[in-house]
């Protein structure tokens, strides 16, 4: 092997690569961040699947393409993708663009770190610890545990698994054959991840008892009591109740104090799926919506939604101080989590996860938080609510919109096929910051 | 509300944001991609946890910071993070830097798309389909299914859950109480995600039967047969065998044809955890190592490892053509997966996932593949093996290195505390491309 020749090859690759990256960055700036946020441009250049297949030329071939062709690929991907940063993107529970969060994301990608041990991710292990601590303190907990997960569904699944281990620790080694049938409680309007979690964890969707909601979409606590009695009569052990803070469609908040009281009385784990609504904790004005959240055992919260941190940014927080998360999930792989390191190995938090390699999701939130402060995040949430009220008032004046239902933090209207709900406020909001 | 004033505010935020992003991009180029790949620079500026906490000033405060302070934050994060792109980063199963993959990742982050439906992710739904199809064809399957997952552990977990549903479909609704005790088989040297999966899915780690390996680290098929008999004698139903193609520490390949024969004879689902070794499928010279892989029911494969696509990039592939993946995982949420759309709703693949929001992981691999072609990826794999042999020869000449064990695709040496194994070849490799 001739090291010299290889070094030259390598240098050439490096400089070509950097040039391509820089040119592509300019395309990204122009096509997504300039055009994609411009009201005069479309949210999406819609194409039918067959048309789009032809336009994109997705086929992967034997030989590579030229620099110029590849830059055109970047342009095409940007062109035909939906601009979720566009002020008129109203489709999902996320939208908008925070430039500091985006910077955190590009930095994350370039560093290409996996968040398992302090030695490989020193900055991010400490940063995750700090961000989780701060989020927990907003919930009202001075101690506890938590972890960043790949999305809210996974965070909810973590909570359900930890609750199960807390109730029946033998499940980790012996499986569900060593436990009684278990019952889960969640409202009609709660997120479908509850059923997915029950199926994936081996509990089964039939063991998810669906609790009725009132007209605003909030869980009816009296029906929770009915469903607990029903489960017990079927010899299923109630162990987990999921309360929702901000339902997906109506934005409803379940009455947490009343649910906490019932959970405590029945010895159940109480989880709050605050994936969407958790961010009200930043607002003195609106945090009453989640009064009682500190009585929960666990909380899911997605800063990639109302706070605009960007996908994916989801945490599950635990009130527990007995190391349940680590005890439940750890496999103590000796090749990765050696105990003879020259630092405190409790910083090797990766074994708390059910993943091995784990993307860094804390940096985008941390950098955004550093940039605008707790105060700025609080303003962001309050503006979302203010815009929601404003739209509410405006819509009431119009004949061509029909009110579908009124809820705590937003209103859903349906003008034929247009679907306007709380999602759009965030999008509008992102344009104003 | 004065739209005009808000538009000005918005414009100011936009231009400040873009300026920050651009300046931060330059810092990223300089600190990570120039310095971080420079042999004269350190892989990591090591600090003890307490020192690092003080240096980073992680605290999140009431008010935001200045443009200048924030840019310094970006510099500090880069400075104290491990440079996984450095030619001397030897710590994990990933390393190096592919600039086209990185471009795909920055594009992914800026578009901020969630991969659930065609309407919100048109480009990426089709692209995922194409990439999965191409990877399946390398496995030897002209049809089948698959999905990108957040890492190899999750891909393995998916395979185990689909296998369980295939063997006992009632588990989705009724849970494990409606099934007999189940048995999983995997080798001593297999990845710890098998035990994590068994625990998380409610099967329990005691129901993972550990099969012995030979001196190279490969599963001994005759011991698999012994363990199957043992499981049956305990009234556990053998349903899932995990074969490893490229073990974590020794890089060993289990004998897939012999394991397939045993699986078929016992009516078991055969999974291949090829997270690390799957990439040999690109090489005509080395793909004999996974001979028989086409007889498996599912395969995990992480292009973020040997192919350098960047974290996270992991797929689980299925030979199944009966829609098991969708049937097992779907929850049919009506707010997201409406059936009255004006395109073929089989393109709304999100319900195959146990996640709801799902990051786009296909673009980085697709763009890299477009850039260097199947041929380039094949060369990348072959160079990894060539460098492995080269190191092997060099090391044998030295007295201060002790051979720990010899395996199929690499060699592990231990000079006191230095840990050299197949990981480093990839790192070296990345420097040569």
Residue B410: domain span: 368-432
- Chain A residues with CB under 8 Å of B343 CB are 48-49
Same domain membership, residue B305 and residue B256: yes
The pLDDT value given to residue A89: 87
Average pLDDT over residues B251-257: 95
Q: How many CB atoms lie within 10 A of CB A291?
A: 12
Pairing mode, strands A237-244 and A182-187: parallel
Please tell me which residue, B8 or A364, carries the higher pLDDT value: A364
The pLDDT value given to residue B327: 97
The pLDDT value given to residue B402: 64
The residue with tokens 């770190």 is A113
The proportion of chain A whose per-residue pLDDT surpasses 90, expressed as a percent, equals 78
**Closest C-alpha to B309, from B156, B103, B152:** B103
Same domain membership, residue B64 and residue B178: no
The residue with tokens 């016992």 is B266
Average pLDDT over residues A48-68: 97
End-to-end CA distance of chain A: 56
Is residue A389 helix, strand or coil?
helix
**Interchain contact, A390 vs B111, CB within 8 Å:** no
A98 within a domain of the structure (yes/no)? no
B94 within a domain of the structure (yes/no)? no
Total of domains in chain A: 3
> Which of residues B65, B83, B101 is at a domain's end?
B83
Cα distances (Å, whole numbers) of residue A165 to A82, A384, A397, B180: 41, 38, 53, 21
- Chain A residues with CB under 8 Å of B281 CB are none
Structure tokens given for A85: 């940063």
E strands of B312-410, at which residues?
314-318, 402-406
Measured distance CA(A64)–CA(A16) in Å, rounded: 14
Task: Give the DSSP letter string of B158-217.
Answer: HHHHHHHHHH-TTHHHH-GGGS--EEEEEETTS-THHHHHHHHTTS-GGGEEEEPB-TTS
Rg of chain B, C-alpha, whole Å: 24
Give A401's pLDDT tier (boundaries 50, 70, 90): low
Q: How far is B107 from chain A (nearest CA, A)?
A: 7
B182 within a domain of the structure (yes/no)? yes
Same domain membership, residue A245 and residue A182: yes
Q: Where are the alpha helices (DSSP H) in A234-361?
A: 256-266, 324-329
The pLDDT value given to residue B408: 54
> Among A7-11, A172-176, A331-335, B293-297, whose mean pLDDT is lowest?
A7-11
pLDDT digits (tens, 9 = 90+) for A192-212: 999 999 999 999 999 999 999
The pLDDT value given to residue A402: 63
B63 within a domain of the structure (yes/no)? yes
Structure tokens given for A357: 């390699």
Same domain membership, residue A372 and residue A356: no
- Chain B residues with CB under 8 Å of A344 CB are 49
**Interchain contact, B374 vs A60, CB within 8 Å:** yes
Q: How far is A155 from chain B (nearest CA, A)?
A: 10
pLDDT digits (tens, 9 = 90+) for A220-254: 999 999 999 999 999 999 999 999 999 988 889 99
Please tell me which residue, B47 or B414, carries the higher pLDDT value: B47
Q: At what angle do helices A422-432 and B3-28 cross, to 10 degrees?
A: 70
In this model, does residue B415 exceed pLDDT 50? no
Structure tokens given for A275: 């994936």
Measured distance CA(B425)–CA(B388) in Å, rounded: 6
Residue in A173, A196, A201 nearest the CB of B206: A173
Same domain membership, residue B332 and residue B195: yes
pTM, rounded to two decimals: 0.94
Structure tokens given for B44: 């990591």
pLDDT digits (tens, 9 = 90+) for A67-123: 999 999 999 999 999 999 998 887 777 888 999 999 999 999 999 999 999 999 999
B193 within a domain of the structure (yes/no)? yes
**Burial annotation B398-428 (CB, 10 A radius, 16+ → b, else e):** eeebeeeeebbbbbbbeeeeeebbbbbbbbb
B91 within a domain of the structure (yes/no)? no
Which CATH number covers residue A166? Answer: 3.40.640.10
> Which of residues A330, A345, A365 is at a domain's end?
A365
Give B428's pLDDT tier (boundaries 50, 70, 90): very low
The pLDDT value given to residue A409: 52
Cα distances (Å, whole numbers) of residue B305 to A333, A354, B81, B137: 19, 19, 20, 20
A104 within a domain of the structure (yes/no)? no
Residue in A59, A82, A376 nearest the CB of B120: A82
Give B420's pLDDT tier (boundaries 50, 70, 90): very low
Average pLDDT over residues B71-99: 91
In this model, does residue A425 exceed pLDDT 60? no
**Interchain contact, B77 vs A178, CB within 8 Å:** no
Q: How many CB atoms lie within 10 A of CB B383?
A: 19
The pLDDT value given to residue A413: 47
Pairing mode, strands B298-301 and B314-318: antiparallel
Same domain membership, residue A264 and residue A169: yes
> Which of residues A365, A384, A401 is at a domain's end?
A365
SS3 content of chain A, % helix, strand, coil (to 5): 50, 10, 40
Q: How far is B225 from chain A (nearest CA, A)?
A: 22
Residue in A118, A355, A363 nearest the CB of B49: A118
Report the number of secondary-structure helices (H) and strands (E) in chain B: 13, 9
Q: How far is A272 from chain B (nearest CA, A)?
A: 17
Same domain membership, residue A356 and residue A238: yes
Interface test with A, best of B81, B89, B190, B306 (most A CBs within 10 A): B81
Interface test with A, best of B60, B129, B250 (most A CBs within 10 A): B60
Chains A & B: contacts with CB separation below 8 Å: 442
**Interchain contact, B126 vs A32, CB within 8 Å:** no
Residues 6+ apart with CB under 8 A from A101: A308, A309, A310, A364, A365, A367, A368
pLDDT digits (tens, 9 = 90+) for B14-60: 889 999 999 999 999 999 999 999 999 999 999 999 999 999 999 99
Pairing mode, strands A208-211 and A237-244: unpaired
Same domain membership, residue B354 and residue B390: no
A253 within a domain of the structure (yes/no)? yes
Residues 6+ apart with CB under 8 A from A348: A116, A117, A118, A119, A125, A337, A341
Residue in B44, B119, B373 nearest the CB of A63: B373
Same domain membership, residue B147 and residue B114: yes
**Torsion angle in degrees (nearest 10) through CA of A302, A199, B268, B234:** 110
Residue in B77, B177, B201 nearest the CB of A123: B77
**Burial annotation A27-48 (CB, 10 A radius, 16+ → b, else e):** bbbebbbebbbeeeeebbeebe
Same domain membership, residue A176 and residue A323: yes
Give B2's pLDDT tier (boundaries 50, 70, 90): very low
Mean pLDDT of chain B: 90
Give B373's pLDDT tier (boundaries 50, 70, 90): very high
Same domain membership, residue A297 and residue A286: yes
Average pLDDT over residues B222-228: 98
> Interior CA angle at A339 toward A333 and A345, to 5°?
100
Structure tokens given for B374: 């199947």
The pLDDT value given to residue A420: 41
Same domain membership, residue A137 and residue A264: yes
Residues 6+ apart with CB under 8 A from A102: A310, A364, B21, B109, B110
Measured distance CA(B32)–CA(B28) in Å, rounded: 5
């Amino acid at each position: 092997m001739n090291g010299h020749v290889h070094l030259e090859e390598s240098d050439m690759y490096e400089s070509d690569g950097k040039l391509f990256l820089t040119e592509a960055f300019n395309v990204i700036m122009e096509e997504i961040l300039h055009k994609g946020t411009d009201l005069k441009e479309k949210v999406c250049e819609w194409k039918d699947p067959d048309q789009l297949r032809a336009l994109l030329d997705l086929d992967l071939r034997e030989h590579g393409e030229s620099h110029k062709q590849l830059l055109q690929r970047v342009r095409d991907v940007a062109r035909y993708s939906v601009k979720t940063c566009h002020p008129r993107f109203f489709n999902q529970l996320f939208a908008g663009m925070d430039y500091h969060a985006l910077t955190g994301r590009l930095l994350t990608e370039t560093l290409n770190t996996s968040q398992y041990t302090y030695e490989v991710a020193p900055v991010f292990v400490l940063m995750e610890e700090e961000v989780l601590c701060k989020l927990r303190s907003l919930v009202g907990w001075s101690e506890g545990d938590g972890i960043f997960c790949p999305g809210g569904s996974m965070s909810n699944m973590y909570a359900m698994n930890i609750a199960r281990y807390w109730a029946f620790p033998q499940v980790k080694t012996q499986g569900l054959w060593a436990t009684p049938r278990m019952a889960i409680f969640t409202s009609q309007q709660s997120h479908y991840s509850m059923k997915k979690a029950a199926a994936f964890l081996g509990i089964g969707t039939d063991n998810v008892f669906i609790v009725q909601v009132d007209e605003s979409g909030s869980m009816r606590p009296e029906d929770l009591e009915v469903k607990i009695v029903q489960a017990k009569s079927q010899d299923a052990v109630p162990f987990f109740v999921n309360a929702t803070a901000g339902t997906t469609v109506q934005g409803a908040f379940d009455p947490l104090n009343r649910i906490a009281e019932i959970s405590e009385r029945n010895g159940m784990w109480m989880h709050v799926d605050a994936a969407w609504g958790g961010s009200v904790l930043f607002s003195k004005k609106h945090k009453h919506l989640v009064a009682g959240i500190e009585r929960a055992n666990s909380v899911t919260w997605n800063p990639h939604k109302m706070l605009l941190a960007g996908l994916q940014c989801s945490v599950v927080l635990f009130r527990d101080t007995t190391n349940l998360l680590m005890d439940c999930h750890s496999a103590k792989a000796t090749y990765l989590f050696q105990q003879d390191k020259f630092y405190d190995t409790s910083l090797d938090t990766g074994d708390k996860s059910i993943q091995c390699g784990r993307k860094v999701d804390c940096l985008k939130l941390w950098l955004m938080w550093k940039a605008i402060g707790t105060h700025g995040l609080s303003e962001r949430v309050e503006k979302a609510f203010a815009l929601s009220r404003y739209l509410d008032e405006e819509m009431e004046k119009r004949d061509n919109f029909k009110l579908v239902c009124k809820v705590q933090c937003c209103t859903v209207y349906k003008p034929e096929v247009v679907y306007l709900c709380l999602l759009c406020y965030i999008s509008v909001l992102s344009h104003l910051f």
